[in-house]
């Protein structure tokens, strides 16, 4: 079928993207779904910094690529053995999990070996690409999703069924920002009631972490960002203190928490800020990072402190979530009012406005924007 999709042909073009237009909204041919695959009509797709990192070249992916990885939509056609029906509403997770590899069997589907391999190749879990351009080339899939398109073919292993009454623009956020941020707070930081917590970076992922920290009962909750309106939003969402981002943030967090926060979550994707997060962590505490820095970036730490201060440093991919378990749980928390993720949604846009949307993400104007399709 013929589908309008947002294709990145070249990375590293100069911002503003409204002028350089790295993303081309074009018509592609989409193959039908194979066994275990779904044809999904995308209804909402979120703009994440991980998309921006492919656009600006700090995260290198095979190109051309039909971009986007945070989406919700409706199943139009279900391949044999997919376990879904036409009409099902789905949220897509950005790691397909095969269910059979050693990491999946160990309960760590975010680390699925075949899923990571397919994502690295820009292919679907079942192998190969389903997109075809009019010049005969085969654009790659972004993280098994390619969210910025009217219709997509995905592995059923990327999809989680959700209730049909959840608005698509809210549902989409669960696919990346909420799984990643809330999961980092719950599964990776394991925040306990009464603990002190600091969150560095208040984009979609950081604010989702902040909301889960609040829901988990963090007592002192410090929100750090370089952008003032994001700190103000964090305060409205329950942060007890806000701190301007920068090297001085470490001392401020230590003052507020009386020697460092017990749990510090870095969502900036900036390696020196991860070091600040580590320095702002109290002895015996845990630093969690979800940010995806440039692959060349290195982190250096005072090695003794890890031992003598019994600190823990943890990476968190997909919030260490099990999407089929956690998407429904997090949606229940949203419905109960404990996780008001609708507050993250700052802009709605059309597919044709996508370059302008990435300018707003890059310059800090937007929190989470959703393309409504
Ligand atoms: N681990 C995962 O599974 C996973 C999933 C999704 C996104 N990510 C990564 O998480 C990061 C956050 O994603 P996002 O979509 O929320 O991005 P975002 O751009 O919306 O948010 C990042 C925030 O960090 C802030 N920031 C930048 N420099 C700072 C500094 N020095 N001090 C304090 N704050 C600073 C920015 O102002 C911004 O608000 C990105 O690196 C993204 O690639 C990781
Ligand atoms: Zn993302
Ligand atoms: Zn697997």
Give tens-digit pLDDT for 191-232: 999 999 999 999 999 999 999 999 999 999 999 999 999 999
Ranges of H-type helices in the chain: 17-20, 49-55, 102-105, 113-121, 168-173, 179-183, 204-215, 228-236, 249-257, 271-279, 303-308, 323-336, 354-362
**CA 341 to ligand 3 center in whole angstroms:** 29
- Is the distance from the beta carbon of residue 205 to the nearest atom of ligand 1 less than 6 Å? yes
- Is the distance from the beta carbon of residue 273 to the nearest atom of ligand 1 less than 6 Å? yes
- Substitution site in 268, 288, 323, 357 for ligand 1 pocket (most atoms within 8 Å of beta carbon): 268
Nearest CA to 157 out of 188, 118, 183, 129 is that of 118
Average pLDDT value for residue range 156-165: 98
- Is the distance from the beta carbon of residue 230 to the nearest atom of ligand 1 less than 6 Å? yes
Torsion from C-alpha of 277, 212, 328, 171, nearest 10 degrees: -80
- Is the distance from the beta carbon of residue 257 to the nearest atom of ligand 1 less than 6 Å? no
Q: Which fold has domain 2-165+340-372?
A: Quinone Oxidoreductase; Chain A, domain 1 (3.90.180)
Residue 201: its pLDDT value, please?
98
Nearest CA to 357 out of 30, 67, 158, 122 is that of 67
- Is the distance from the beta carbon of residue 185 to the nearest atom of ligand 1 less than 6 Å? no
Q: Which fold has domain 181-316?
A: Rossmann fold (3.40.50)
Token match 């991980």: residue?
50
β-pairing verdict for 345-349 and 368-372: parallel
The pLDDT-based confidence of 33 (bands split at 50, 70, 90) is very high
The pLDDT-based confidence of 286 (bands split at 50, 70, 90) is very high
- Substitution site in 67, 116, 189, 201 for ligand 1 pocket (most atoms within 8 Å of beta carbon): 201
- Substitution site in 55, 203, 275 for ligand 1 pocket (most atoms within 8 Å of beta carbon): 203
**CA 171 to ligand 2 center in whole angstroms:** 14
* Closest ligand to the CA of 208: 1
Tokens of 266: 């870095």
Residue 142: its pLDDT value, please?
98
Domain spans, the chain: 2-165+340-372, 181-316
Residue 129: is it exposed, middle or buried by C-beta count within 10 angstroms (0-12/13-18/19+)?
A: buried
Cα 287 to Cα 160, 172, 227, 341, distances in angstroms: 30, 28, 22, 23
Asked if domains 2-165+340-372 and 181-316 share a fold, the reply is no
Tell me the pLDDT tens digit for each residue of 44-74. 999 999 999 999 999 999 999 999 999 999 9
Residue 15 per-residue DSSP state: S
Residue 351: its pLDDT value, please?
98
The pLDDT-based confidence of 301 (bands split at 50, 70, 90) is very high
Looking at ligand 1, which residue's alpha carbon is closest to its atom 18?
203
- Is the distance from the beta carbon of residue 58 to the nearest atom of ligand 1 less than 6 Å? no
* Closest ligand to the CA of 173: 2
- Which string of DSSP letters, residue by residue, matches 142-189? STTT--SBSEEEEEGGGEEEE-TTS-HHHHHHIIIIIHHHHHIIIIIS
Average pLDDT value for residue range 170-194: 98
Residue 193: its pLDDT value, please?
98
- Substitution site in 46, 47, 50, 363 for ligand 1 pocket (most atoms within 8 Å of beta carbon): 50
- Is the distance from the beta carbon of residue 227 to the nearest atom of ligand 1 less than 6 Å? yes
CB atoms within 10 A of CB 352: 11
């Amino acid at each position: 079928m013929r589908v309008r999709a947002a294709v990145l042909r070249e990375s590293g073009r100069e911002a503003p993207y409204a002028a350089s237009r790295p993303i081309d909204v074009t018509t592609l041919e989409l193959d039908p779904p194979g066994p275990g695959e779904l044809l999904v009509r995308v209804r909402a797709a979120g703009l994440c910094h991980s998309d921006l990192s492919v656009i600006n070249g700090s995260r290198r992916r095979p190109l051309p690529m039909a971009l986007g990885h945070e989406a919700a939509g409706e199943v139009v056609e279900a391949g044999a053995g997919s376990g879904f029906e036409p009409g099902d509403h789905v949220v897509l997770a950005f790691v397909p999990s095969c269910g059979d590899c050693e990491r999946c069997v160990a309960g760590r589907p975010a680390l699925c070996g075949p899923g990571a391999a397919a994502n690295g190749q820009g292919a679907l879990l079942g192998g190969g690409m389903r997109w075809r351009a009019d010049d005969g080339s085969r654009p790659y899939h972004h993280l098994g999703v390619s969210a910025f398109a009217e219709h997509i073919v995905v592995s059923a292993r990327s999809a989680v069924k959700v209730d049909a009454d959840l608005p698509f623009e809210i549902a989409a956020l669960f696919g990346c920002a909420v799984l990643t941020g809330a999961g980092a707070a719950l599964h990776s930081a394991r925040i306990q009631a009464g603990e002190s917590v600091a969150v560095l970076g208040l984009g979609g992922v950081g604010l989702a972490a902040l909301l889960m920290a609040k829901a988990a009962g963090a007592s002192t909750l410090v929100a750090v960002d370089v952008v003032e309106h994001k700190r103000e939003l964090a305060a409205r969402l329950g942060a007890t203190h806000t701190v301007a981002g920068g090297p001085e943030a470490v001392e401020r967090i230590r003052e507020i928490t009386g020697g460092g926060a017990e749990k510090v979550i870095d969502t900036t994707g900036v390696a020196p800020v991860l070091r600040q997060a580590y320095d702002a962590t109290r002895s015996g505490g845990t630093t969690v990072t979800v940010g995806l820095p440039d692959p060349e970036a290195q982190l250096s730490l005072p090695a003794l402190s890890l031992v003598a201060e019994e600190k823990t440093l943890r990476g968190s991919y997909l919030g260490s979530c099990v999407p089929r378990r956690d998407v429904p749980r997090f949606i229940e928390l949203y419905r109960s009012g404990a996780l008001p993720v609708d507050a993250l949604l700052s802009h709605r846009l059309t597919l044709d406005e996508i370059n302008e949307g990435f300018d707003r993400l890059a310059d800090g104007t937007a929190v989470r924007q959703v393309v409504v399709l």
